[in-house]
Amino acid sequence: MAPVLSAHPQVTATLVLLLSVLSLAAGGKLLVTYVDGSPWFTMREVLDSLRQKGHEIVVVAPEINIHIKPMKNVVMKMYPVPFTQEEMDGNLHAFLQDLFEEASFVERFVKGYQGLKKISDLILSNCAHLLSNTELLRYLEESKFDAILTDPALPCGPILAEHLSVPSVFFLRGIPCGLDFDATQCPNPPSYVPRGFTDLTDRMNFLQRVKNLVFDTPNYFLCDFVLQPYAKLASEFLQRDVTLPDLLRKASIWLMRSDFVLDYPRPLMPNMIFIGGMNCAHKKLPQGIYRPYRLREHPPAGEEFNL
C-alpha cells in the first residue's frame, strides 16, 4: 500500500481530503440555554433535526418554566429557582391581561411597565441562579461543548458562552432597543428604518419620520430596566467590565427568524442568515390552487392570483 501511495501523490491527497471531510461531518456537542416561551416551539424543531443528524445536545433550563419539557435523546439539565410555577404564571397572565384591557394610554403604559418589570426580574433571577450554580457550571466546563445555541434577547446565553469560551450561534427574532443592530454594526437610522407598531415603510415623509423617532424613544427606557441589569451581572460573573454589545458582537452566526417578506430589505453582515420559514407550518399546498410567478415578477395589471 505504501509504495502505491508514494507512487501516486494525487491518490494520497484525495484520501487526506476525504478523511478531513469525514471528521468535519462527525456530530458535535451542542449546549442550548434557556429559550422559553413561544421561541421554544421553533427551537424544539431545530433540536430534533440536529439530533437526527448525530449531534449531542444538552439543554439547560430552570425547573420553573413555561413550555420547556423533556425531549427524546436530549439531555436536560434543570436548575432550581427561588419562585413557584404559580408565581410565574400569575405574573405572566396579569401582564397579558393589562395589555388588552380597555383603559387610557397612561394607565396601560404604567401597568405594562410594572408587569414587564416583574417578569424581567424573574428572568434575571433565572440567569443569576444559573451562573451561581457551581455544580452545574462545573459540569458545563468539563463537557467541552463545540458551540452554544441561544436566544440573545435573554443575554444569559452570551454570558455563558463568554465564560466557557465556545462559539455562539444566535437564534432570534430580534432584540429590544436595537441591540442586534448595534452589535452587528448594521445601519438603523430612524429616518429610514421603520420601528415596530408604526405601520410605516422605509419611505417616509417628514412627519412620518418624526413619528418613527417618537416611537423609538421608549426603547431606551426599556433597555435601562430590562437589559442593562445583565451587563452588571455579566461584569460581576466574568470579573471584568463588559457591555451587552461587547457580548453580542462575539456571535459566530446570527440565525434571524425573519424574512424580507415579513419585514423589509436591509443591510446584513456576512454571518447573518434569515430563516423566516422556520415559523411556518411544513405543509404542501395542493397542486393547481395557485399560479406561481417568478421571483421579483409581478402579475400583470388587473390580474389577481388564482387562490
The reply to whether 209 falls in a domain is yes
The CATH number of whichever domain residue 220 belongs to comes to 3.40.50.2000
Confidence band of 115 (pLDDT split at 50, 70, 90): confident
Q: What is the pLDDT of residues 241-293, one digit of tens each?
A: 999 989 999 999 999 888 777 677 778 889 999 888 776 666 665 665 444 43
Is position 20 within any domain?
no
- What confidence score (pLDDT) does residue 173 get? 84
245 and 231 in contact (C-beta within 8 Å)?
no
pLDDT at 70: 86
Which residues have CB under 8 Å from 286's CB, separation 6+?
none
Rounded Cα distance between 271 and 251, Å, is 9
Q: Is the pLDDT of residue 114 over 70?
A: yes
Name which of 6-15, 155-164, 268-277 the model is least confident about. Answer: 6-15
CA distance 102 to 108: 8
Count of the separate structural domains present in the chain:
1
pLDDT at 224: 73
| Share of the chain residues as helix, strand and coil, in percent rounded to the nearest 5 | 50, 10, 40
pTM of the entire structure?
Answer: 0.78
Q: Mean of the per-residue pLDDT values for the chain?
A: 80
Residues 6+ apart with CB under 8 A from 181: 187, 188
Evaluate whether residue 131 is within a structural domain: yes
Q: What pLDDT, in 10s, does the model give residues 189-227?
A: 888 888 877 788 878 899 999 988 888 877 777 777 778
User: In the predicted model, what is the mean pLDDT of residues 224-245?
Assistant: 90
Cα 99 to Cα 10, 171, 176, distances in angstroms: 68, 27, 18
Residue-number span of the structural domain to which 112 is assigned: 27-279
With b meaning 16 or more CB within 10 Å and e meaning fewer, what string describes 172-211? bbebebbbbbbbbebebebeebbbeeeebeeebeeebbeb
CA dist., res. 263 & res. 261, Å (int): 6
Give the span between the Cα atoms of 304 and 285, in whole angstroms.
Answer: 18
Whether residue 263 lies inside any domain: the answer is yes
Question: 23-37, 159-173, 232-246: which has the minimum mean pLDDT?
Answer: 23-37
Place of cell 458582537: 249
Residue 95 forms part of a structural domain: yes
